[in-house]
Amino acid sequence: MAKGIQTRHVCRECGYETPKWLGKCPGCDQWGTLEESITITPSKTAISRSNGAASLGLVTRAQPTRLTDVPSVALEGRMSAGLSEFDRVLGGGIVPGALILVGGDPGIGKSTLLTQAAGFLAASGGTVLYVSGEESATQIKLRAERLGVASPNILLHNEVDVTLIASTIASERPSVVIIDSIQTMQHPEVDSAAGSVSQVRSCTAMLAQAAKGHGIPIFLVGHVTKEGALAGPRVLEHMVDTVLTFEGDRHYAYRVLRAVKNRFGSTDELGLFEMREEGLAQVANPSEMFLSERSERVTGSCVSPIVEGTRPLLVEVQALVAPSYLASPRRTFSGVDTNRVNLILAVLEKRAGLGLAKYDVFVNVAGGVRVDEPSADLAIAVATASNFREIAVNEHTVVAGEVGLGGEVRAVGHMEQRLREAGRMGFKRAIVSARSLAGLSRARLGIEVIGVDNVHQAIEKAFRS
């Protein structure tokens, strides 16, 4: 088939295409995101022949299927990855035919996680095809030996040609396929370097077709940019079914697995792992992990029960308030939304009488976890007031509630789950919104629940013994 070559420029953020290079993308208004892409299109002769074949009835089309005739995939029909934390983030297990993208910083443990999952799937009787464009078979074998993975059902394939990989998937029909990584794959009909917008998009499209056509789940390992975003075109995230991010500091042992996108489950679930010499170990009690190094009777520390998906967790919110010698005091926050904390600081100044305008304020969530829900608002306010007044929060107290602009404390959901987890960890008191008291069976929770209406009341009650 005769083909024509076209040079276009594609935005790696939104996929906008233009024949000329532009400094600013008209689609998403981002600067410097247009990259050159070479596409190959069929010639007019090939198109006319294709149309002629269609007119002669030589081209078959897929027929529409009634929704009621499509078989359902029950939770029991999913495959387990052998790690309950991994299964939790996936929504209960691996769905047949799913295309799953796993991203994370270099050396964070992406290949380790997938190798351990491959070992369990192979030991359960399935066949795993591990395709690597970055490592040799010997290097993969060394990692597998370190992790205690040894199974003849794991097939290693060093290949970067996506058409040959798709052919191998069709012939071998494995239970699961792992591609490490999508940025190293190449489509022979796309005349551009591996990792470019065109290559990543074309390779992902072919692998998606293989996953859906054969009902085989495929894991794609993705690189990340220096800003922490997934490398390649933003359209890559739209093409896959699930996007997982593996987070954590390489200098610390704990890792967090999150679902940024999930067509088969919730995106609020959280998986926690500890990196050890023998591989990733699941954290059975994350609340104990986050509070293991907490110091008692230290100002600027407050514990808050949060809910990630269906799991309640206890996290320590730390705040440091120090006199500023700068014209504009510093505001540095880690693990929380910057705009949200600035709002809470303004409420403390206006509604609680704390003069923070001339002070540097630092807020941190211990353990490397990120808190996005508003239930930690009250803990941020109490921890900041504690360090500002140099009065420690009662060590047996947890705090949960959303803070409004009027200084009021609003109710948050799943309160019984939060308080039950706090009681299990040995806490005796909880300060929550007064509106959360309705319907709570306090005797069954085994913890004293104190209702407050505003931030000022919460601060005063948190300091009492």
**Residue matched to tokens 């933003």:** 234
Tokens of 324: 């500023």
Q: Is 105 annotated as ligand-binding? A: yes
Determine which helix (DSSP H) or strand (DSSP E) holds 397, and give its type and residue range. strand 397-399
Closest CA to 200 of 145, 133, 117: 133
Side-chain half-sphere exposure of 196, counting CA atoms within 13 A: 18
Written as six digits, the tokens of 351 are 């509604």
Q: Give how far the C-alpha of residue 124 lies from the chain's centroid of Cα atoms, to the nearest Å.
A: 27
Contact 116, 280 (CB under 8 A): yes
Residues 282 and 254: their CA atoms lie apart, in Å, by 10
182 in a known ligand binding site: no
Distance CA 270, CA 66 (A): 36
Nearest to 379 by CA among 421, 350, 348, 353: 348
Evaluate whether 336 touches 302 at the Cβ level (below 8 Å). no
355, 318 in Cβ contact below 8 A? no
Angle at the Cα of 238 from the Cα atoms of 232 and 243, rounded to 5 degrees? 80
| 107 is an annotated ligand-binding site residue | yes
Q: Torsions phi, psi of 201, nearest 5?
A: -70, -45
Collapsing DSSP to helix, strand or coil, 380 comes out as helix
Alpha carbon 320 to chain centroid, angstroms: 28
Residue 110 counted as an annotated binding residue: yes
The pair of structure tokens assigned to 333 is: 């926050």
428 is in an annotated binding site: no
Q: Tell whether 174 is in a known binding site.
A: no
Instruction: Give binding residues as ranges.
Output: 104-111
Binding residues for ATP: 104-111
